[in-house]
Chains A and B, each alone.
Chain A
């Protein structure tokens, strides 16, 4: 049954590539303000779920709702309105190499029509929050893996989205940076932002004791609140 306060809903979603089923009958709901881990081994289907949420991919069948809107009913040229509600921390970063740190973050504000004055104020604040204030005019090529990861988080947060979707945000960084990023995501969640984080880092999942959705071979095999990686 669909709950009124759900911000993300997957309703019997199937996805196949060239006849091969990668997601089978995925059905879950995430409430506004929840922090949910999406776990499973590599190739289980976590990234496909994230691509479906951001409409990089479309489901083969089933329905996906974001904040009450069924994505299948949104015309391609209106999809930006849905994407503005989401801040995605991509596993492969997807930074614009020709732009510096400031410009990479400001792009997510420019697309929503934020004025230049506000951009000049907000971007340095966000970069301070992720500890990149001293790298503001550096190019992504001059940053370490952890710094690029923080840059991507800053970009995802800048326009204050309703939902943060993080695809393995700690996959390429050291334990200290991992801890900083997790603290940051927890703080953002406390302020009311819904967080869906895909990871296969069992230490993080076990430590934070949040709701855990477990995917295996394209199927949702468990959904537990306050769960751990091996439940």
Chain B
């Protein structure tokens, strides 16, 4: 029979301690929620960036359009290649004109001879881009090869650092929350030492004696995690509706390597994770406290 009466009685009498415990757990879970959101958002961004990464090969004018199109056909039959796009000198000029439409002086000085024709090569696996880059870098007919690998690598590096730092901060808060649950239950056990002894003498089983303390830990952690679930839902919904980071335009986020889910399903999963962890923290914390401090 679950009876939270005794646990709630302690919460009512020890408002200060209870408030601090719930707040520490609340902060830990909000941080955890932010960290998990950051991981998913950065994974989504990385996934997007990887799709944008390409090798763009610019050709010298001596290499004719026919030769470039032949090369394009050859590349398209290469199993490593996913897509090859061709931009002629004329198309390159149009694009550049569009970019510089606010600068008439620059536009007047442009002619088709200035801009080179190019091929945009995307591979099925991003790792193959390095090899493609090397293959074209040393060819005589190639003027230059552009490869935005650095941007992708730098983003991965920064996101890894931020993940490690947030993981460390969240771990510290979890350890603190665990410690707070332990100490609060210990205080409660010591303050009820005489009562525990009497309950045992009138026939209280070990389970009857320990249950209120375990429930107390569960109430703290579940209250903290439920509150953090509410706050995370509000913040993540705001992120969506205000279209922060273009989330609303994307409409979905990428979990793991390539697994896409709708944004609000991610929010629900996050809130469920936070609450399950809340239950586990309360359960493990209070059971540890009872095991260590309640000698029965």
Contacts and interface: CB of A to CB of B under 8 A. Distances in A.
B85 interface: no
Interface string A159-191: 100000000000000000000000000000000
B79 interface: no
B205 A80 contact: yes
Nearest to A56: B201
Contacts of A83: 200-203
B198 A96 contact: yes
A54 B202 CA distance: 9
B197 to A, nearest CB: 8
B203 A111 contact: yes
Contact of A84 (B1, B203, B206): B203
Given A98-B195, A111-B205, A80 B1 contact: no
Interface in B1-29: 1
B1 A113 contact: yes
A111 B209 CA distance: 9
Residue among B194, B198, B203, B204 with most chain A CB within 10 A: B203
B199 A54 contact: no
Given A111-B205, A111-B208, A113-B1, A80 B200 contact: yes
A80 B195 contact: no
Nearest to B192: A98
Q: Interface residues of B: mostly helix, strand, loop or mixed?
A: helix
A113 B205 CA distance: 10
Contact of B203 (A94, A95, A97, A112): A112
Interface residues of B, number: 15
A77 interface: yes
Q: Interface residues of A: mostly helix, strand, loop or mixed?
A: loop
A80 B203 contact: yes
A116 to B, nearest CB: 9
Interface string A102-146: 000001101111000000000000000000000000000000000
Enumerate the 8 nearest inter-chain pairs by beta-carbon distance, A residue then B residue, closest first: A84-B203, A83-B203, A111-B204, A80-B205, A108-B202, A111-B203, A96-B195, A80-B203
14 contacts: A76-B296, A77-B205, A83-B200, A83-B201, A83-B203, A88-B202, A90-B201, A95-B198, A96-B199, A107-B199, A107-B202, A110-B208, A111-B199, A159-B203
Given A54-B201, A99-B195, 20 more contacts: A80-B200, A80-B205, A80-B206, A80-B208, A83-B200, A83-B201, A83-B203, A88-B201, A88-B202, A90-B201, A94-B197, A94-B201, A95-B198, A96-B198, A97-B194, A107-B199, A108-B202, A111-B208, A155-B202, A159-B203
